[in-house]
Structure 1
Amino acid sequence: MAQSANPFGVGYEGHPLFGIGYQIFPYEIGAVKLGVEAGLAGRFGGNTNAEIWGGVVGRYEGIEIANTVRIVPSFTFGLSHVTKTMNGRERRNEEERDGNAGTLFYLGPEISFSTVSRPDVELFWRLHHRSGAWGTLGDMHGGSNANVVGVRYNF
């Protein structure tokens, strides 16, 4: 996972990923927000398939620089399900372990940026990570990673 944390890398071994997600935060403790997230993505190239994920998410909204820029780190933990395994690392891992990468754990460390005057519009980078957590799910020791860049509108 750490080797994939390159925001300038191409996700899923050169296969593009396009998605949409939704977050809701019913709990706040100071600058920390706790909530849930759900998302749906299309994974293209090689063999096109769909991915759905969901999980719990925490955000820290307490970092401001010069009363101008907001930096918000967050982390999502949950499950991810795909309709078909991607060619490349994900498929190789299945074959090596005789595993199943259909449903794996989902981890989404993220950092987002916005202005203090427009905190409702954020630019974000996320490491979209799927993992079997050392064989816990699907007898998989690895899954796949993608570097994701996006725009979020908070309403």
Structure 2
Amino acid sequence: MRRIFSALAFAILASTLCPLPADAGDWFDWQWYGLTGPCDNKCAIMVFGGKFVETPMEDIFLRGDLSPFNWEYGDSGFIGFSASRTVASFWRERFAIETELGVGKRFGSMHESETWAALFLRYRDFPWNDYLYTTVAVSTGLNYASGISDEERARAGNDRGDRILHYLAPEITFASPQDKSKELVIRLHHRSGAYGLVSDADGGIQYLTVGLRFRF
């Protein structure tokens, strides 16, 4: 699993920082948009919030417990804000690579603040998109917390936790095919040590969140 995370992070980072030439191949069809310049519908902001999920991510994705109705929830909430930009696309724009910066605040039983920087790989070519425009995305990045909560310390596996952890945020979005600029976003906002890749504090915390993203 550690090798998978390493390969994914390296591949996305390398392809973003070292864009391929436009004639890299019709099947790949790489398009590099860059980090600066006019947005042209490639920029976005999002406001989102949700509830602390106690069910481990391994149970959710590796053991098939994908239904949020079966998860266990804690007494903490989260609200966040992010800004993102599409920097590249490939395979006839089926896939997109996006950068994101975000800040957030926990409340309830936890009260720390968070900030993160991440790269997202997004797939956006589902067969029903003419009826309900849908995308899915997953991230790799770093998340910094202003403190280490008792909950996170208990999950760390090293009795102390870590303020800097890996940021993994799988999400699914829905929008009207007639107006893709407004998206309903369901995201699992998750930070952990990524099986030792980022930190020896293996476990972290996560929130099931719902948000609105505006593209411009």
Distance 2:68 2:84 in 1: 22
- The Cα of 1:85 is off from its aligned counterpart by 1.6
Give per-residue Cα distances to partners, 1:21-62, cap 9 Å, x unaligned.
Answer: 111012111221112111100011224111001111111121
| Correspondence for 1:43 among 98, 106, 116 | 106
Question: Are 1:91 and 2:153 counterparts?
Answer: yes
- Which structure carries more strand by proportion? 1
Question: Are 1:152 and 2:208 counterparts?
Answer: no
Distance 1:78 1:104 in 2: 9
Contact 1:7 1:125 in 2 (8 A): no
- The Cα of 1:107 is off from its aligned counterpart by 0.3
Number of aligned residue pairs: 152
- Which structure carries more helix by proportion? 2
Distance 1:28 1:22 in 2: 18
| Number of the residue aligned with 2:59 | 3
- The Cα of 1:66 is off from its aligned counterpart by 6.5
Counterpart of 2:149, as a letter, is M
**TM-score (norm. length: structure 2):** 0.64
Contact 2:153 2:159 in 1 (8 A): no
- The Cα of 1:134 is off from its aligned counterpart by 2.4
Q: CA RMSD in A?
A: 2.0
| Number of the residue aligned with 2:137 | 74
| Number of the residue aligned with 1:61 | 124
Question: Are 1:22 and 2:83 counterparts?
Answer: yes
Contact 2:191 2:205 in 1 (8 A): yes
Contact 2:89 2:96 in 1 (8 A): yes
Larger Rg, first or second structure (1 or 2): 2
Task: List gaps (5 residues or longer) in structure 2.
Answer: 1-56, 61-65
Distance 1:83 1:66 in 2: 40
Contact 1:71 1:113 in 2 (8 A): yes
Q: Secondary structure at the match of 2:109?
A: coil
Distance 1:38 1:120 in 2: 19
